[in-house]
Amino acid sequence: MKAVDVVVAALLVVGGLNWGLVGVFQFDLVAAIFGGQASALSRIVYTLVGVSAVYQALTWKAIQRRWAVAA
């Protein structure tokens, strides 16, 4: 499950950076890379980022327990 947590975190960073670019520069990097907002690849990336956010929100406590570092 830790591998899933890492992939989810990476996708959330990608999504956050993309939304930051959209907000500040009106530039959608995902759309620019994958051929527009309506392209299949862009939609897959957007969907994966959204699913990652839902996963992160629903499993927050479990993720914290998995990654707990003993002092």
Give the tens place of pLDDT for each residue, 10-31.
Answer: 999 999 999 999 999 999 999 9
In which band, very low, low, confident or very high, does the pLDDT at 1 lie, cut at 50, 70 and 90?
confident
Question: Tokens 């998995």 correspond to what residue?
Answer: 66
| C-alpha separations of 10 from 3, 4, 13, 15, 71 in Å | 11, 10, 5, 9, 26
Domain boundaries, the chain: 2-66
Would the pTM of this model clear 0.75, i.e. be above it?
Answer: yes
pLDDT of 62 over the 80 cut: yes
In which band, very low, low, confident or very high, does the pLDDT at 70 lie, cut at 50, 70 and 90?
low
